[in-house]
Amino acid sequence: MRDAAQIVLLLVVLSDLAILGTSRLSSCIRGLAAQGFLLGLLPVLIAPQLSVHAVSLALGTVIVKAVALPWFLAWAIREAAVRREIEPIVGFIASQLLGAVAVALAFAIASRLPLPGTPQPLLVPVSLATLIIGFIVLTTRRKALVQVAGYLILENGIYLFGLTQTESVPFLIELGVLLDIFVGVFIMGIVVFHINREFDSLDSTRLTELSD
Amino acid sequence: MTPDGLLALGLLGMAAPAVPGIAVKTKSLLTGRRGPPVFQLYADLAKLVRKGRVYSRTTTLVFRAGPVVALASLILAALFLPLDGREAPARFAGDMVAFAGLLALGRFALVLAAMDTGSSFEGLGASREVTIASFAEPTLFLCFMALVLAAGDLSLSGILGTPLAAAWPHAGASLSLVGVSLFVLLLAENSRVPVDDPATHLELTMIHEVIVLDHGGPDLALILYGSALKLTLFGVLVVSVLVPRAGFSGPAALALLFAGLGAVAVAVGVVESVMARVRLVRVPQLLVGAAALALVATILQLR
């Protein structure tokens, strides 16, 4: 189980890097869905024994992060008829290199953090790496929809960090967080949809101009 | 230097032309065609060797030396690979740098020969080949770095043998990343599909095929055999990293290696039939992605 969790965590890092390298909105969303599914596997894999708590958390995560949110983002792309390219501010090669640096940084920081024993030694560095990569996506992409994706990656990082404490966080709080994210992304999707209808573009740099 | 090691090397040299044959056959079968026989390249080589040499008057010695130097450097590089999973015919501390250097020397000779023809077309191919190589080489060194850290030895024989088998239980994740990264390198270095299409002869798209366009007869045979050998060498690297064969006796390890090479060739064929060739501007990104994988593998080792 420990090895399986380690491999899943590595795949999470790889999905981060894949999202950084992709040039298409749809593959970005597929990457997010894959990451959500991997995150859903983790509570079961790192739990010392199979509990209702872990299984229901896993199910909730898979339903929200791997099915509902990607489906909703795909719907937003289709309905808003946005162009399928991502149009980054920082190029794909540079952002992948930034991502690799972020992973190195995350491992360096995590080895210096005074943390109590965690169920999986890779959990903290991978969560930090995912956080930083989420920030990179948030800041270096122009499309509002990709920024929503960046926000989701950021949240995935926070979720991973939360997994170090699964035993002590009540189940209701976790479900509440999942619900919050769902509603948040829902609202963002609707806002994005309206931005697109009003301005014929999702380019967030153009939101600084005033127009009537 | 052991006679066993040289025998293994000889067997590898004899099997090399079948490796691209298996890849092409797999691709043909998967795309619903019959395809050329697996051993087609042997027949091609036999045909080419019997032909005469034709040299343009504008070419110099550099052009004639190109194929010979390229093949010789590949054979020298093969000496450093432990084929039976334990000991290579030649080893010294840091021989992986020599291995990478010899591969680079082979490519350098071919590129010089291409430029020697004075054809602007070949110059174009040479520039593309070198561009891709300049992205592939750092990735190769990053892979070697992760392997050195995993095995704690500085020679290819010391890494790809027993230490790697011992490292698999606690560094499996990192080593499988290195394996994937090496496989991407194999595709790029041997001009296989996501990077270059070995089947195309459309002037604007081909890379490796361009620089050998003016070679004919025995020279072309040397080049074709060299590229098959290069594919085989990278295949040996991938197989050795993914399946350390230290626990087997010599012949069993060798049989396992050849089975692994067959599997790598099939994997190349599968990749070629499910993927389209990526645009030239996206090739560096693919290789940077492979480098990122190797970097993550290295970081996992440093932890």
What one-character DSSP code corresponds to residue A203?
B
Q: Taking a C-beta distance cutoff of 8 angstroms, is the pair A96, B285 a contact?
A: yes
CA separation for the pair B119, A182 (Å, rounded): 61
Closest by CA to B210, choosing from B278, B113, B70, B280, is B113
Burial (CB count <10 Å: 0-12, 13-18, 19+), residue A24: exposed
Residues of A with CB under 8 A from a CB of B: 3, 6-7, 10, 13-14, 17-18, 21, 23, 92-93, 96-97, 99-100, 103-104, 107, 111, 121, 125
User: Which residues from A are below 8 Å from B299, CB to CB?
Assistant: 103-104, 107
Q: What is the pLDDT of residues B200-241, one digit of tens each?
A: 777 667 788 888 888 989 999 999 999 999 999 999 999 999
The whole-number pLDDT of residue B91 equals 87
Amino acid at B49: V
What is the distance between the alpha carbons of residues A53 and A55, in angstroms, rounded to a whole number?
A: 6
Cβ contact A7–B291 (<8 Å)? no
Helix axes B40-50, B18-30, angle to 10 degrees: 130
Q: For chain A, give the longest Cα–Cα distance.
A: 60
C-alpha distance from residue B87 to each of A40, B9, B157, B229, B240 (Å) = 45, 12, 5, 20, 12
Domain ranges of chain B: 3-302
* Contact call for residues B91 and B8 (beta carbons, < 8 A): no
Task: For chain A, report the end-to-end CA distance as a whole number of angstroms.
Answer: 58
Residues belonging to chain B = 303
The amino acid that residue A39 corresponds to is L
Hey, how many other C-beta atoms are within 10 angstroms of the C-beta on B278?
Answer: 14
Identify the residue with better confidence: B250 or B74.
B74
Sequence-distant (6+) residues with CB within 8 A of B263 are B239
Q: Which of A61, A75, A63 is nearest to A29 (CA)?
A: A75
**What's the confidence (pLDDT) of residue B142?**
93
Q: Decide if B173 and A6 are in contact by the 8 Å CB cutoff.
A: yes
Is the per-residue pLDDT at B44 higher than 80?
A: yes
Which of A55-69, A193-207, B44-58 has the least mean pLDDT?
A: A193-207
Please compute, for residue A32, the number of CA atoms within 13 A of its CA located in the half-sphere on the CB side.
31
CB contact under 8 Å between A107 and B295, yes or no, is: no
pLDDT greater than 70 at residue A14? yes
Give me the pLDDT at residue A211, please: 61
Encode burial over B149-184: b for 16+ CB neighbours within 10 A, e otherwise: bbbebbbbbbbbbbbbbebbeebebbbbbbbbbbbb
pLDDT, position B237: 94
Looking at per-residue pLDDT, the higher value among A211 and B107 belongs to B107
In the predicted model, what is the mean pLDDT of residues B37-41? 94
Query: Per-residue pLDDT for A200 more than 70?
Result: no
How far is residue B81 CA from its own chain's centroid? 12
Closest CA to B18 of B265, B237, B234, B257: B265
Best of A15, A24, A93, A96 to disrupt the B interface (most B CBs within 10 Å) is A93
Write out pLDDT tens, residues A34-87.
999 999 898 888 877 777 878 888 888 898 889 988 888 888 788 777 666 777
When pLDDT is averaged across residues B144-154 and rounded to a whole number, the result is 91
